[in-house]
Structure 1
Amino acid sequence: MITARNITKRFGSTVALDDVGIEIREGESHALVGRNGAGKSTLVSVLTGMALPDSGEVSFFGEPAPPVHDRVAWRKHVACVYQKSTVVPELSVAENLFINRQDFGSGLISWKRLRREARELLDLYEVAVDPDDKVADLTVEQRQLVEIARALSIGARFVILDEPTAQLDGPAIERLFARMRSLQDRGVTFLFISHHLQEIYEVCQTVTVYRDARHIVTAPVAEMSKPDLIEAMTGEAGGLNVPGGDDRVTSDVQVLSIDSLSGESFSDVSFSAARGEVIGLAGSASSGKHQFAETVYGLRRASSGSVAVHGSVVRNGDVPAALRSGIGCVPRDRHHQGLVVDLTIAENATMSVQSTFVRRSALNGAGRTAIAEYDIKAAGPDQPVSDLSGGNQQKVVMARALAGDPSVLVLINPTAGVDVKSKESLLGVVDAQARQGKAAIVVSDELDDLRVCDRVLVMFHGRVVREFARGWRDQELIAAIEGMTSQ
């Protein structure tokens, strides 16, 4: 269906794609994987006509791709559902489905017809939302389905899904995969980009691996083991090396105390964390775990209960007060909460402590330190974070969380959207900080993230229902997450 051959793309002295290619058959789900910086995003830009390669060619069904300036023609061939949503939140579902073509060619908008056509489109692709719903009120899952329906309504039969599961829980992921299989049966083709390698085996038929801007291998998924896939991505044999903390020693000194904390989507949560202790928090998207963590660092206001650091109660619903009390945070969504993408690495990494810097030289010095300590792949501290890969952006967010040397870390989905080696690096930072005496809460949907923890608390419908010591088994933890709490 789509072929890219001998694609090379440079940005200044940086080679983003080095004579790469990909061939995707009609009706298949084809995975594209690789470490952050491997060239995946650049290839997506080329395949969607957003970037012109320096050399090479793209074709659809054997015909050359349209000129880059012909956006209408490109949209009829290919659409991309990005990790960062492209719907307009303040518009309705119907308006988003037909954005820039609301008049159906007549020059005037018939709102009755718009809603009717939207309803027919939603029914056709089994998207269970109302045409009049405001997109801002939809779940992440619903927004993605609206974007897919919009793409198919234009005529595209090739859809690129860029990290589509990064913000979905288990049941929502399964529903997305079921929808993909149903659309494949209708002849829709997918390019599936994900750092969650297990998903590749669940939904894809073919996998292509890029590494360091070059094509490494394309193979049927059934013929490539997970260790072989990781080796192709990293150039190193072996799987994911997550620090387990088995030899880590915790203290009897309590650093963080949560007392009967209640708030939006959770109630009556109590526990404490000692020096050097890492506590995991697991649960489905509806468990309240994210809302709880955001309340601990002040982004949300508690309805009752308290948070205390070293015995001093933290002011409720006040992020600056949480920072002053010694709570550092990696927020849930780095795009909207963790970074100012037009600012530099140095400015972002020191944002929580910038009042201590009076000279640009001192600021850049702190930026260089962050680059070295957190293994951020960058040209220098003056580089905008918008130029960085997802994994390196997440390392900048981690550097900012630790800039003030906090006593407590609250880390929400700390490895979301990062590659295998970046995941190892970020979890290694968590382990190292615990060994230095910090307490940490790791909130994650990724079981590998929770292996760094000394114990894992499982939340279900807003309450802590189980606690697992280090050494838990996947099946037991998943069963508790899904509400099967019997011993």
Structure 2
Amino acid sequence: MSAVTRSDASDPVPLVEASGITKRYGPTTALQDGRLTVMPGESHALVGRNGAGKSTLVTVLTGLQAPDAGTLRFDGEPAPALSDRDAWRRKVACVYQKPTVVPELSVAENLFIHRQPTGPGGVIRWKQLHAQASELLDTWDVRVDPGARTADLRVEDRQMVEIARALSFGARFIVLDEPTAQLDNKEIERLFARMRTLQESGVTFLFISHHLQEVYEVCQAVTVLRDARWITTAPVAELPRAALVEAMAGEAVTVARDAARAEVPRDAPVRLQVTGLGSAAYEDIDLTVREGEVVGLAGTSGSGKIELAETFAGLYRPERGIARLDGRELPFGDVPAALAAGVGCVPRDRHDQGLVSGMSIGDNATMSVLDRLGSYGFVGAEKKRAVGEELIERLDIHAEGPHQPVSDLSGGNAQKVVMARALASDPRLLVLINPTAGVDVKSKESLLARMDSAREDGTAVLVVSDEIDDLRRCDRVLVLFHGRVVADHAAGWNDHELIASIEGVDRG
């Protein structure tokens, strides 16, 4: 599939034109031959699976880092010097998922932060500040009280404040990074209406979203990245949804079931039984996981998949519903109680949630089973060392020994320590959240092999992952979309089927 061509001399100059963008971090190539051409006044989608290179391209487009190769032009002129932040603010701004406003300040203060009108002695002229804020908001039809505390705003209004702030610098190119992730359907409709109004006023958007149906609703053109490379740029109206999914996924790959792996018997005992589970992040979840069954949970970042998995691990308390593990009600909102009930968990972030960096491998790997290693809080050093050594061998952790600090380990070996701790308690339900994120190929295979071993031991396994290869090891994959289970794919699915469900393409 080829790029959009605009060879006619009468065509307008692209507002943004990036070509041959390459960015490396040591031996890792984060982006190779990145390309983007955005015309004035359009909404241009940038799509691709996780790791496709979207975030890297955005950091180059917004002047946060220089490419190792390639060129970037705005309105036909070379991009400003990286050190000239004011010039970049006049060109482009990015509204991220995480707010960049100061929540305790007012809307007016956030709009003109570090550039408030001042009088003698640097005293802020509050009346003038509010007048300027009102004028700016009126100009761009942003209906927000300039005196309101930003923390009290709805997500959609906070986004519009950030857009207005960017426009106040003179920027007319706005990058929206997953802007709908925290919005409901009505809020999304209002955001799209505001985007169309701003487009009519000369504002251009780069729209990044995992929800492909939104691309067809609000964008005129789309660029696809895959495996850190540019794949295609095309008018949205000329790109069928199936072709867009194929561009993101590559050639369709039908995954055959491993003949050596027996299917879970239909009469296998039920380990996890979930009925009517609901919260702000997910709704009406009914789920059954049998002994020795591996069930995947897939979806986009706002699907509710992670919150659902973390609920079983005791991190959240749902508003309604019940879950039973081997017939006994699971305790919610209590991690130690969930551990005692038979739940092991590899959390989503090994640095913040999975490891205590100042402690050794042995201490980290055994902290969930200290009650088994000693009485009244006393654990013999020799016993802890022996258990640590056994886990190191079991998980193939490359280390000097259980005394070595986990902070010295590579990402793959550190993740193996987290897995070792989850398995140390011999859980009946194993919850794995992005278990192979940020690890090398050999470590990934080792971690997935441990998941297979747990399955063979009769453990029920829930796997949340953005990695297609992780999900291939599952007996079935449930897809969540806006908090609801919308598809149940048996083993043998192909990439197109799964990605279409995840992105919402098969729902009109």
| TM-score computed with the length of structure 1 as normaliser | 0.65
The 8 Å contact of residues 92 and 173 in structure 2, kept in 1 or not, is answered as: yes
Correspondences of 1:14-29 after superposition (within 5 Å) = 14-29=28-43
The 8 Å contact of residues 103 and 110 in structure 1, kept in 2 or not, is answered as: yes
Name which one, 1 or 2, has greater alpha-carbon Rg.
2
The answer to whether structure 1 residue 110 and structure 2 residue 110 are counterparts is no
* Cα distance in 1, alignment partners of residues 283 and 221 from structure 2: 45
After TM superposition, give the deviation of residue 43 of structure 1 in Å: 1.4
Q: Give the 3 Å change call, closer, same or farther, for CA 193–131 of structure 1 in structure 2.
A: same
Match of 1:43 in 2: 57
After TM superposition, give the deviation of residue 7 of structure 1 in Å: 2.4
Match of 2:188 in 1: 173
Select the residue among 256, 271, 274 that pairs with 1:255.
271
The 8 Å contact of residues 277 and 322 in structure 2, kept in 1 or not, is answered as: yes
Correspondences of 1:78-477 after superposition (within 5 Å) = 78-103=92-117, 107-234=122-249, 236-238=250-252, 249-251=265-267, 253-256=269-272, 275=291, 297-300=313-316, 308-315=324-331, 317-328=333-344, 382-383=410-411, 403=423, 406-408=427-429, 452=476
- Where does the alignment leave 5 or more consecutive residues of structure 1 unmatched? 371-379, 386-392, 419-424, 461-465, 472-476, 478-487
Q: Give the 3 Å change call, closer, same or farther, for CA 54–102 of structure 1 in structure 2.
A: same
After TM superposition, give the deviation of residue 309 of structure 1 in Å: 3.0
After TM superposition, give the deviation of residue 149 of structure 1 in Å: 2.3
Q: Give the 3 Å change call, closer, same or farther, for CA 455–31 of structure 1 in structure 2.
A: closer
After TM superposition, give the deviation of residue 324 of structure 1 in Å: 2.9
The answer to whether structure 1 residue 4 and structure 2 residue 18 are counterparts is yes
* Cα distance in 2, alignment partners of residues 223 and 261 from structure 1: 41
Q: Secondary structure at the match of 1:27?
A: coil
* Cα distance in 2, alignment partners of residues 456 and 289 from structure 1: 6
After TM superposition, give the deviation of residue 216 of structure 1 in Å: 2.3
Q: Which amino acid aligns with 1:323?
A: L
What is the CA deviation profile of residues 261-316 of structure 1, one whole-angstrom value per residue up to 9, with x for unaligned ones?
9999999999976546799999xx99999988766543345799976533445555
* Cα distance in 1, alignment partners of residues 194 and 417 from structure 2: 34
What is the CA deviation profile of residues 154-190 of structure 1, one whole-angstrom value per residue up to 9, with x for unaligned ones?
2211011222233333333333222222221211111
After TM superposition, give the deviation of residue 27 of structure 1 in Å: 0.8
Q: Secondary structure at the match of 2:109?
A: helix
Q: Which amino acid aligns with 2:53?
A: G
Stretch moving more, 44-53 or 105-114: 105-114
* Cα distance in 1, alignment partners of residues 277 and 244 from structure 2: 43
Q: Which amino acid aligns with 2:340?
A: R
Q: Give the 3 Å change call, closer, same or farther, for CA 337–4 of structure 1 in structure 2.
A: same
Q: Secondary structure at the match of 2:315?
A: coil
Q: Secondary structure at the match of 2:167?
A: helix
After TM superposition, give the deviation of residue 396 of structure 1 in Å: 9.7
After TM superposition, give the deviation of residue 87 of structure 1 in Å: 2.6
* Cα distance in 2, alignment partners of residues 397 and 177 from structure 1: 45
Q: Give the 3 Å change call, closer, same or farther, for CA 61–227 of structure 1 in structure 2.
A: same
* Cα distance in 1, alignment partners of residues 286 and 69 from structure 2: 59
What is the CA deviation profile of residues 328-371 of structure 1, one whole-angstrom value per residue up to 9, with x for unaligned ones?
5687x86998678999xx99x9798597986999888788779x
What is the CA deviation profile of residues 415-440 of structure 1, one whole-angstrom value per residue up to 9, with x for unaligned ones?
9x99xxxxxx9xx99x9788975557
The 8 Å contact of residues 352 and 403 in structure 1, kept in 2 or not, is answered as: no
Q: Which amino acid aligns with 1:407?
A: R
How many residue pairs end up in the alignment? 433
Match of 2:47 in 1: 33
* Cα distance in 1, alignment partners of residues 458 and 188 from structure 2: 37
| TM-score computed with the length of structure 2 as normaliser | 0.63
After TM superposition, give the deviation of residue 79 of structure 1 in Å: 0.5
Q: Give the 3 Å change call, closer, same or farther, for CA 255–157 of structure 1 in structure 2.
A: same
Q: Give the 3 Å change call, closer, same or farther, for CA 87–367 of structure 1 in structure 2.
A: farther
Q: Give the 3 Å change call, closer, same or farther, for CA 251–112 of structure 1 in structure 2.
A: farther
After TM superposition, give the deviation of residue 139 of structure 1 in Å: 4.2
Q: Which amino acid aligns with 2:215?
A: I
* Cα distance in 1, alignment partners of residues 81 and 328 from structure 2: 63
Using the aligned pairs only, state the percent identity: 49
Match of 2:81 in 1: 67
Select the residue among 62, 67, 72 that pairs with 1:53.
67
Q: Which amino acid aligns with 2:223?
A: T
What is the CA deviation profile of residues 13-71 of structure 1, one whole-angstrom value per residue up to 9, with x for unaligned ones?
22333343321101111122233333222211111111112233222111221111111
What is the CA deviation profile of residues 421-473 of structure 1, one whole-angstrom value per residue up to 9, with x for unaligned ones?
xxxx9xx99x97889755578999xxxx9x9568999999xxxxx999999xx
* Cα distance in 2, alignment partners of residues 267 and 218 from structure 1: 36
* Cα distance in 1, alignment partners of residues 325 and 32 from structure 2: 51
Match of 1:390 in 2: none
- Where does the alignment leave 5 or more consecutive residues of structure 2 unmatched? 1-14, 258-262, 374-383, 399-407, 439-444, 466-470, 491-500, 502-508
